[in-house]
Amino acid sequence: MNKNILIIFIKKYKFSYIVGLVFMFLSSYVQTLFPKILGNTVDILKIKGFKPERIYVNIGWILLIAAGTFAFTYIWRNLVIGNARKLECYLREKLFDHFQILSPEFYNQRKTGDLIAYAINDINAVRQTLGPALSMAINGIVVCAISVYSMTRAVNWQLTLMALLPVPVMVYIMIHIGKAVKKRFKRVQETFASISDRVNENINGMRVIKSYVQEEKEVERFEKLNDQMVDSNLSMIRVSAFLPPLIELCFTVSFVINLIWGGNMVLKGSISLGDFIAFNGYLTMILAPVLSIGQVTTIFQRGMASFGRLNQIMSVKPCIEDTGTIMQPPRGQIKINKLTFTYPGTGKAALKNIGLTIPKGHILGIIGKTGSGKSTLVNLLLKMYPIGNGLIYFGDKDINEFKLEALRSGIGVVPQDNFMFHASVADNIRFFKEIYKPEEVIKAAQDSCIYESIMEFPKGFEAVLGERGVNISGGQKQRISIARALVREPEILVLDDALSAVDTVTESKILNNLRRVRKNKTTVIVASRISAVMQADEIIVLDKGEIRERGTHAQLIDKGGIYNEIYRYQFGTGKLESVG
């Protein structure tokens, strides 16, 4: 996590932090007045014929100290701990923003559960470190410093030195235990990520699991992960649980030294009984902060482990640099000039020497077997991967001259994986943008041939879809996705195998609607079925990343090549041999 993010946040809330720290110091100082007032009261009670008024005054001071401690603590906790909650929200937003700019390649290499762990557990650990832990540490240090000063100056410095002899031992052990906690907490976070990922996969793949009767096997796999989670937590607890009893043991030794040494001093008259009681009060007051410092050490090391994980993820740079300056969406013809592309980490080109011009207003059909490079070409039109200059043009402008937001806002894409949100049908179509009127949403649904199906839902357009659209069919998902693209009325529309789950009759209706509503606008149809591209102005056949054939449907049939073989196979007039 970039330290500048924290600096920006602290600067934004510096006034509340300053006020909170001031009241924290006041609260700590006021607390340390109590032992001295109590000791003074005991000394007054020892005097024969003491005046009750003096006792009443001290009682008043004690009540005032209690009220002041309450008020000051209430104020600083609201400010400092409240800012920690704001920091948690701020960091989560920054992390989410960072996720949005990362390239598809990043998500291909990361598990969902791990990313969820960053957004929940790690940020929460950082919040606890910079909120409760930091405030307990500062408060504890102030209380201890004032208490030790008061014990030294107001009572006796020799007694103070003897009573605090075990403290260096505690500090030394705390440091070493803290390092062990940090290492073990990192493992806890990793096992939490694995469990989150397993749960996520099982929920999303529940239909497949049930279809293959794998419930028991999945339970066994989850139990193994769960046992690992328990073991990693117990490993951390075995170390962190050592601190509180150690601190109490050390302070027991301190109290024993104090009772023996200090008791003798009272008997000898070196200090008064009131001073001895005040000294014990200060020693007791030190105990609570030191105990909390032990807890702080554990929380701090957890936070540092999470801070390191967040810093690692936040330092990942998107492989695509948004260096363009054009803010307008792309228009005009699309020209691809000798494009060759290889995915990072692979040695084989996914596209080879692609040369293509799509005039404005034309419909281009792209067909080819699985792995031929169809989706890769679509991804490059959206600049999902870095592209060299001079390879793709929109009009007379290079793709790298466009801002990413402008480029992608001008291209409507219906991807192969038709993702549905757990929201209403209307929200899924307009993608939660209120700029689209209800009639525009309805028109998009009609043009994508999903309107009648929507009206059969109990609540129509307000019917809520299950997560990932589990309560609707694949064909309905595709048509809602098409409506989502059409409602934007983009200059360029790309259907990436977006008609594979609809029947041929519905497919024909959708294609006719597209030709009607998208006059003078460019459309690219990527398909596995020839029926989806037959009416295109031009069709290209991709095979092993290369354009093997191009032309209209009639021209390609006459050539008798790959396209002709696909046609004969799909329409039952022959066997597919070259492609498959």
What's the confidence (pLDDT) of residue 573? 62
Give the pLDDT confidence score for residue 580 in this predicted structure. 33
Percent of the chain with pLDDT over 90: 12
Distance CA 176, CA 185 (A): 14
Please name the amino acid found at residue 88. E
CA-CA distance, 508 to 129, in Å (whole number)? Answer: 60
Q: Is position 371 within any domain?
A: yes
Tell me the residue range of the domain where 52 lies.
3-314
CATH number for the domain including 355? 3.40.50.300
**Helix (H) or strand (E) segment spanning residue 21:** helix 14-31
Does 466 fall in a domain? yes
pLDDT of residue 578: 40
Token pair of 115 as six digits: 């990313």
Q: Which amino acid is at 284?
A: T
570 occurs within a structural domain: yes
Q: Which amino acid is at 505?
A: V
How many CB atoms within 10 Å of residue 215?
Answer: 12
In angstroms, the CA 387 to CA 404 distance is 12
Q: Is residue 514, in this structure, part of any structural domain at all?
A: no
Q: Is pTM, for the whole model, over 0.75?
A: no
Report pLDDT for 473: 83
Sign of the dihedral through C-alpha 87, 92, 97, 103 = positive
Do 236 and 359 have their domain in common? Answer: no
What average pLDDT does the segment 369-387 reach?
A: 86
* DSSP code for 390: T
CB neighbours of residue 258 within 10 Å: 22
Asked if residue 267 and residue 126 are part of one domain, the reply reads yes
Q: Which tokens belong to 297?
A: 């050490």
DSSP element (H, E) containing 146: helix 134-150
98/191 same-domain check: yes
Distance of CA 233 to the CA centre of its chain: 23
Q: How far is CA 188 from the centre of its chain?
A: 18
Residue 572, domain member (yes or no): yes
Q: Verify that 455 and 401 share a domain, yes or no.
A: no
Cβ-in-10-Å burial (0-12, 13-18, 19+) of 6 comes to middle
Buried b (16+ CB within 10 A) or exposed e, 185-209: bbbbbebbbbbbbbeebbeeeeeee
Position with higher pLDDT, 538 vs 104? 538
Find the CATH number of the domain harbouring 186.
Answer: 1.20.1560.10
- What is the amino acid identity at position 459? K
**Domain count along the chain:** 3
**Rounded to whole angstroms, how far apart are CA atoms 29 and 31?**
5
- How far is 284 from 275, CA to CA, in rounded Å? 14
The reported pLDDT for the residue numbered 498 is 85
Query: What single letter denotes the amino acid at residue 80?
Result: V
On whether both 56 and 92 belong to a single domain, the answer is yes
Say yes or no to pLDDT of 261 above 80.
no
CA neighbours within 13 Å on the CB side: how many for 567? 17
Q: Which of 489, 511, 542 is the last residue of a domain?
A: 489
C-alpha–C-alpha distance, residues 280 and 452, integer Å: 82
Cα of 56 vs its chain's centroid, Å = 58
Q: Read off the pLDDT of residues 204-250 as tens digits, 9 standing for 90 and up.
A: 677 677 766 777 888 888 888 888 888 888 888 887 777 777 777 77
Give domain status of residue 557, yes or no.
yes
Residue 507 is assigned to a structural domain of this protein:
no
Beta bridge partners of 546: 543
DSSP 8-state class, residue 307:
H
> CA of 132: how far to CAs of 128, 138, 302, in Å?
5, 10, 13
Shared-domain flag, residues 237 and 362 = no
Dump pLDDT digits (tens) for 320-367.
877 888 888 888 889 999 899 988 777 788 899 999 999 998 999 999
Q: What percent of the chain has pLDDT over 70?
A: 95
Reported as type and span, the H/E element at residue 517 is helix 504-517
Domain contains 150: yes
Q: Do 189 and 120 have their domain in common?
A: yes
**Higher confidence at residue 87 or residue 113?**
87
Distance of CA 69 to the CA centre of its chain: 38
pLDDT in tens, 280-326: 787 777 777 776 766 777 788 778 878 888 888 888 887 787 788 88
Q: Are residues 32 and 139 in the same domain?
A: yes
Give kind and range of the element (H or E) at residue 572: none
275 and 301 part of one domain: yes
Is pLDDT of 142 > 80? yes
Tokens of 83: 């800012």
Instruction: Single out the residue of 379, 370, 368, 391 nearest to residue 344, CA to CA.
Output: 379
Distance between CA 312 and CA 117 in Å, rounded?
A: 14
DSSP 3-state of 503: coil
Nearest alpha-carbon partner for 303 in 171, 133, 177: 133
Contacts of 248 by beta carbon, 8 Å cutoff, 6+ apart: 287, 291
| Mean of all residue pLDDT scores within the chain | 82
The predicted pLDDT at position 279 comes to: 77
Tell whether 99 and 228 lie within a shared domain.
yes
The residue with greater pLDDT, 492 or 571, is: 492
Q: What is the mean pLDDT of residues 140-151?
A: 80
What mean pLDDT do residues 379-392 have? 88
pLDDT grade for 576, boundaries at 50, 70 and 90: very low
CA-CA distance, 88 to 212, in Å (whole number)? 42
- In whole angstroms, give the CA distance from residue 30 to residue 101: 50
Same domain for 338 and 370, yes or no, is yes
Q: Clarify whether residues 275 and 405 are in a common domain.
A: no
Q: Which two tokens stand for residue 524?
A: 């690219």
